[in-house]
Amino acid sequence: MTQRAFTPMILALLVTTLGFATLIFVQEAASPPLIYGAYYAGTLFVLYLGVRILLPHSDVLLLPIVTLLTGIGLVMIFRLTYDVQGAQNLAMTQAVWILIGSGTMFLLVLFFRDYDRIFDYKYLLAIAAVFLIASTFTPLGYTVNGARLWVDLGPVSFQPSEFARIALVVFFAGYLAEKRDVLAATSRSFLGVELPAIKYFGPVALVWAASLGLLVFEKDLGSSLLFFAVPLLMLYAATGRIAYILLGGVLFSFGSFVSFLLFAHVQVRVQSWLDPWKDPDGTGFQILQSIFNIADGGLLGTGLGAGFAQTIPEVETDFVFSAIASELGLLGATAVLLAFLAFTYRGTKIALLAEDDASKLLAFGLTAMFALQTLIIVGGVTKAIPLTGITLPFVSYGGSSVVGNFILTGLLLLVSERAGKREAEGRAYNRDEPWGAP
Amino acid sequence: MNAHVRRTFYLFVAGFVGLVVMLAYWQVYSREALANNPQNGFQTQRSISSPRGLILAGDGETVLAKSVKHHTPTGPVYDRVYPLGAPFSNVVGYWSPRYGATGIEIGNNTDLSSVAGEPQTLDDLINRATGGPQPGNNVVLTLDPGLQKLAYQELQGSSTGRGSVVALNPKTGEILAMASSPSFDPNNIDENYPKIAADPGDPLINRATQSLYPPGSVFKVITAAAALESGVSPQDTFFDSGAYKLPGYTVHNFQGEHFGKVTFTKALAYSINVVFAKIAVNIVGAKALSQMAVNFGFGDPYDDFPIPVSGSSVNSLPPGQWTTGTLAQTAFGQGEVQTNAFQMALVAAAVGNDGKLMQPRLVREVRSPDGIILDKPTPSVRRQAIPADTARTLNEMMQQVIIQGPLPEAEIPGMKVAGKTGTAESGNGEPHSWWITFAPADDPKIAMCVMIENGGRADRGALPIAARLMKAYLTEGV
């Protein structure tokens, strides 16, 4: 566990400052009110100090990575919207969301140091998650770009699935830790694949199917993919049975095929992935503009402010990575991907060092969700896989996504605190092996 | 459980590596192809949203083309402005996102465009990396702005208003003037292009390099060079009866004159077709004459020249298949001989420069916006057309064209001048009027070819124009 990350914090804030300075110099853009920049830097720095004090043994290196990613996100959102009618204030709104996310995370580390108590409420969380997702079907929900993902609560609107998925990871972690032994044991086999008892598998499958089903009908393909894959990986980690992955693969192929036949929007996505040139001004437009922009960047990028990423619809949310690849080039985009990989690596390490099964599965599930989300959206905008609308964690514009990912980071910090503390105590008692090492 | 967690992590690492590979595929491997895809409008968009480099005349100060910024709702856009307009447009060309580009604008596009080509200075690299302003590089031409303007005015004032002038420094190959008339105003080309393209005078054609005409007697310089190389000396005498009968073709002199017994020097000075035909048929032969034209650059497409050149040609048939009639006509630049002012100016320059034909150049240097020289070609010999002593003999004979001609109008006080007239049957109306010259003949600073379409007799059409231009350049410093 890295317990001090002062220099990385300063570096991350400097990168953000440099980005804004460049934009203001190059685009002759009016500087956004400096007070926002001060708030942003101050908030994240106070958050860092707070975590250092409250969770002195936690893996605090996650915070400079979060700072770097949110900073790059702010720079790109400002760059893409500063002169766009009706969207000039998006960067400031995002800064406010980062502030709210930081606040949420601060409250989390302040009050949830005994985080494992939430595993006692896992069924409640699962039900809450399903209801959250289902809430978009109430009159409060509304549709954006064909997907019904939003709930309007008067002053704010949010995407419930961004929070529901964290609740579900908590549920799966708690449940799988409890039942992993019986799930690993097999009671019967089907077509040569050994299956666990329905009794134990039931709740997992039920929650899984319910959330997945709802999301499919909401046309939220990206979230569906995440909700499908993350529990599967957690099941694999808990039981070590590759059969689950294989079974999942079969189910996935079947599900994809059925939804391809059933839903026009799935067909459009697949066709515009396979052959965007067929309709370059219609269904293929977005992905082609993304590819043109990425290619335009070349090795070193066009430079901040010199690209044409504004030609991509939804560039500040789902396609923000294309704008980064265009203006910062292969080198810059790879550096950003490395920051995501570093986060994934720290998350994995936290999972490896966590003391109990539930914490381990929680840290693993959250990390897997973070990594998969990055892979799915970046893979989508680079045409490596069909495009499914989903945000790039911390970078894309979007309040729910930002706050959700701050909560995710907060939970990882909490898990790491306990492992780090035990490690420290182990050192203090001069023991070779920490207690109960798995 | 840790082993499974670790394995999944490796899977993610593989996923990230896959993404970098995918990025590299788009950003490195397919970059060109995507940039040039017709659906991709970025190149055009970028080309109008960043300034192109300046095109400057040979003095390094006179601006021939510049980008001027104006603001639009979608950001600044640059218009191309040509302060001196039509006199330079056959060389400078025009640049339009709609109608493409011509001349130096396209020939040196990689230098002028801020987006084409690789960064060449540290500043450029930093500007590109930070997205800073990226003006293109400046291209300095070899053109003498005063001479170019004067040449264009002279062409406009000529009897038909159609023609071309090419002047160069024989020792360096630097083109000092390349004028073509009629010309066009390259400003606001987006609006004016349809009208200009439909103009029956073909102003978009650069007559100096792209048109081809029969040269008439200016070609006798090449025939004379071949004759000297075949052993004829300037004092050798020939008999001119006024006509030279060949199977199927009879050679006559210009305006039916006959001169009797004349030296070779006089035959050139009086431009006697009969004598040249006899020398070509009886002494030089088709092969040697054709080869001499090639030595002077006929058949060379000048692909490396920044603006398009139509290569000159002697005949469509190989010399082995010429009839004696063809050979006789070729000797005085008729028949199928096709050339232009560019090529004939190079012939004059090569004779003046001891037979060395220098690499013709329009670009003196390329500078970065902050003045760093990025490219500065040095003079080089393109071909040794004739040996130096032959060139000196021919030089002497060309001086006698003016002294014995006599062509007093071509004289320049205080220096020796060499030249040769050409009055070429055009097959359509008045003959084309040609004059090639260089001076001072013993140490030439300028060689020139003036060509007036249907301009009539050489000494009334092309020569007076060239004489005024030469005097202006050599004695008045324009």
- pLDDT: which is higher, A49 or A206: A49
Q: What is the pLDDT of residue A200?
A: 73
Between positions 60 and 79 of B, the ones with CB within 8 A of A are 75
**Is residue A397 within 8 Å of A87, Cβ to Cβ?**
no
Lowest model confidence (mean pLDDT) among A236-245, A400-409, B128-137, B282-291: B128-137
* A291/B1 touch (CB, cutoff 8 Å), yes or no: no
Lowest model confidence (mean pLDDT) among A92-101, A405-414, B332-341: A92-101
Lowest model confidence (mean pLDDT) among A25-39, A96-110, A127-141, A278-292: A25-39
* A233/B27 touch (CB, cutoff 8 Å), yes or no: no
Separation CA B256–CA B233 (nearest Å) = 26
Give the torsion sign (CA, B250, B251, B255, B257).
Answer: negative
Q: Which of B324, B323, B313 is nearest to B290 (CA)?
A: B313
Question: pLDDT tier at A435 (50, 70, 90 boundaries)?
Answer: very low
Q: Which of B135, B130, B106 is nearest to B46 (CA)?
A: B135
* DSSP-based three-state secondary structure for A18: helix
Question: pLDDT tier at B118 (50, 70, 90 boundaries)?
Answer: low
Question: pLDDT tier at A89 (50, 70, 90 boundaries)?
Answer: confident
Q: What is the pLDDT of residue A143?
A: 75
Q: What is the pLDDT of residue B184?
A: 97
Q: What is the pLDDT of residue B146?
A: 96
Separation CA B46–CA B404 (nearest Å) = 62
Q: Read off the pLDDT of residues B154-173 as tens digits, 9 standing for 90 and up.
A: 999 999 999 999 999 999 99
CB-CB neighbors (< 8 A) of B2 in chain A? 352, 360, 438
Q: Give Cα separations from B174 to A148, A435, B141, B305 (angstroms).
A: 71, 87, 9, 12
- pLDDT: which is higher, A187 or A252: A252
Q: Which residues face B245 on adjacent strands? A: B250
CA dihedral A37, A41, A42, A47 (to 10 degrees): 140
Q: What is the pLDDT of residue A4?
A: 83
Q: Kindly report the length of chain A.
A: 438
Same fold across B43-141 and B146-185+198-362+379-475: no
B131 touches chain A (CB under 8 A): yes
For residue A4, give every residue at least 6 positions away whose Cβ sits within 8 Å of its Cβ, in sequence order, or none.
Answer: A52, A60
**B78-97 CB burial, b ≥16 within 10 A, e <16:** bebebebbbbbbbbbbbbbe
Q: What is the pLDDT of residue A437?
A: 42
B35 touches chain A (CB under 8 A): yes
* DSSP-based three-state secondary structure for A20: helix
**A210-249 CB burial, b ≥16 within 10 A, e <16:** bbbebbbebbbbbbbbbbbbbbbbbbbbbbebebbeebbe
Which whole number is the average pLDDT over A239-254? 83
Q: Which of B168, B299, B297, B274 is nearest to B225 (CA)?
A: B297
Separation CA A164–CA B442 (nearest Å) = 94
What angle (nearest 5°) sits at the alpha carbon of residue B108, between those of residues B107 and B110?
120
Q: What's the gap in Å between the CA of A126 and the closest CA on chain B? A: 23
Whether the predicted pLDDT of B267 surpasses 60: yes
Q: What is the pLDDT of residue B64?
A: 97
What's B217's DSSP letter?
Answer: G
Q: What is the pLDDT of residue A188?
A: 60
Q: What is the pLDDT of residue B125?
A: 65
Please state the CATH superfamily assignment of the domain spanning residues B146-185+198-362+379-475 in this structure. Answer: DD-peptidase/beta-lactamase superfamily (3.40.710.10)
Which whole number is the average pLDDT over B100-123? 77
Q: Which of A274-278, A423-427, B290-294 has the highest mean pLDDT?
A: B290-294
* B27/A368 touch (CB, cutoff 8 Å), yes or no: no
Shortest CA distance from A300: residue in chain B: B129
**B115-131 CB burial, b ≥16 within 10 A, e <16:** beeeeeeeebeebbbbb
Question: pLDDT tier at B255 (50, 70, 90 boundaries)?
Answer: confident
Whether the predicted pLDDT of B188 surpasses 70: yes
Q: What is the pLDDT of residue A367?
A: 97
Whether the predicted pLDDT of B131 surpasses 60: no
Lowest model confidence (mean pLDDT) among A139-153, A189-203, A414-428: A189-203
Q: What is the pLDDT of residue A49?
A: 94
Q: What's the gap in Å between the CA of B370 and the closest CA on chain A? A: 18
Instruction: Name the token pair of B159.
Output: 């009897």
Between positions 309 and 338 of A, the ones with CB within 8 A of B are 325, 327, 329-330, 333-334, 337-338
B29 touches chain A (CB under 8 A): no
**Other Cβ atoms within 10 Å of B14 Cβ, number:** 11
Separation CA B367–CA B420 (nearest Å) = 39
Whether the predicted pLDDT of A330 surpasses 90: yes
* A296/B9 touch (CB, cutoff 8 Å), yes or no: no
Lowest model confidence (mean pLDDT) among A429-433, B54-58, B281-285, B381-385: A429-433
Whether the predicted pLDDT of B346 surpasses 70: yes
Give me the DSSP letters along B169-194.
Answer: -TTT-BEEEEEEES----TTHHHHHH
For residue A423, give every residue at least 6 positions away whose Cβ sits within 8 Å of its Cβ, in sequence order, or none.
Answer: A1, A57, A353, A434
Q: What is the pLDDT of residue B403?
A: 96
Nearest CB neighbour to A237, from listed B8, B35, B39: B8
Which whole number is the average pLDDT over B306-333? 95
At residue A307, φ and ψ (nearest 5 deg) are: -90, 180
Residue of B89, B158, B181, B217 marked catalytic: B217
Shortest CA distance from A329: residue in chain B: B27
* B22/A333 touch (CB, cutoff 8 Å), yes or no: no
- pLDDT: which is higher, A20 or B311: B311
Whether the predicted pLDDT of A422 surpasses 70: yes
Nearest CB neighbour to A294, from listed B9, B26, B131: B26
Q: Count Cα neighbours of B440 within 13 Å in the Cβ-side half-sphere.
A: 8
Shortest CA distance from A305: residue in chain B: B131
Percent share of chain A, pLDDT over 90: 44
Separation CA B129–CA B148 (nearest Å) = 41
Class of domain B43-141: alpha beta
What distance separates the 2 farthest-apart alpha carbons in chain A?
Answer: 69
* A237/B4 touch (CB, cutoff 8 Å), yes or no: yes
Q: Read off the pLDDT of residues A12-38 as tens digits, 9 standing for 90 and up.
A: 999 998 888 888 877 666 666 677 778
Complex prediction ipTM: 0.92
Q: What is the pLDDT of residue A438?
A: 42
- pLDDT: which is higher, A245 or B14: B14
**Other Cβ atoms within 10 Å of B182 Cβ, number:** 20
- pLDDT: which is higher, B452 or B96: B452
* DSSP-based three-state secondary structure for A141: strand
Q: What is the pLDDT of residue A193?
A: 58
**Is residue A170 within 8 Å of A362, Cβ to Cβ?**
yes
Average pLDDT in chain A? 86
Instruction: Name the token pair of B271.
Output: 């431009």
Q: What is the pLDDT of residue B370?
A: 83
Q: Give Cα separations from B400 to A314, B268, B424 (angstroms).
A: 80, 8, 21
Whether the predicted pLDDT of B110 surpasses 90: no
- List the domain boundaries for chain B: 43-141, 146-185+198-362+379-475
For residue A129, give every residue at least 6 positions away whose Cβ sits within 8 Å of its Cβ, in sequence order, or none.
Answer: A164, A165, A167, A168, A171, A207, A211
Q: What is the pLDDT of residue A436?
A: 43
**Other Cβ atoms within 10 Å of A186 Cβ, number:** 15
**In a mutagenesis test of the B interface, which of A348, A360, A385, A415 is the best target, namely the one with the most B β-carbons within 10 Å?**
A348
Instruction: Name the token pair of A88.
Output: 């000039």
Binning chain B into helix, strand and coil, the percentages to the nearest 5 are 40, 20, 40
Which whole number is the average pLDDT over B319-336? 95
Q: What is the pLDDT of residue A161?
A: 85
Q: Which of A334, A368, A374 is nearest to A350 (CA)?
A: A368
Instruction: Name the token pair of A60.
Output: 């605090």
Q: Read off the pLDDT of residues B356-414 as tens digits, 9 standing for 90 and up.
A: 999 999 999 999 888 889 889 999 999 999 999 999 999 999 999 999 989 999 999 99
Our answer to whether residue B180 is catalytic in this structure is: no
Separation CA A38–CA A171 (nearest Å) = 38
Q: Read off the pLDDT of residues A357-369 as tens digits, 9 standing for 90 and up.
A: 999 999 999 999 9
Average pLDDT in chain B? 92
The H or E element containing residue B54 is none
Whether the predicted pLDDT of A267 surpasses 90: no
Nearest CB neighbour to B23, from listed A22, A327, A333: A333
CB-CB neighbors (< 8 A) of B13 in chain A? 341
Q: Read off the pLDDT of residues B45-89 as tens digits, 9 standing for 90 and up.
A: 777 877 899 999 999 999 999 999 887 766 678 889 999 999 999
**Is residue B211 within 8 Å of B337, Cβ to Cβ?**
no
Q: What's the gap in Å between the CA of A71 and the closest CA on chain B? A: 17
Q: What is the pLDDT of residue B303?
A: 92
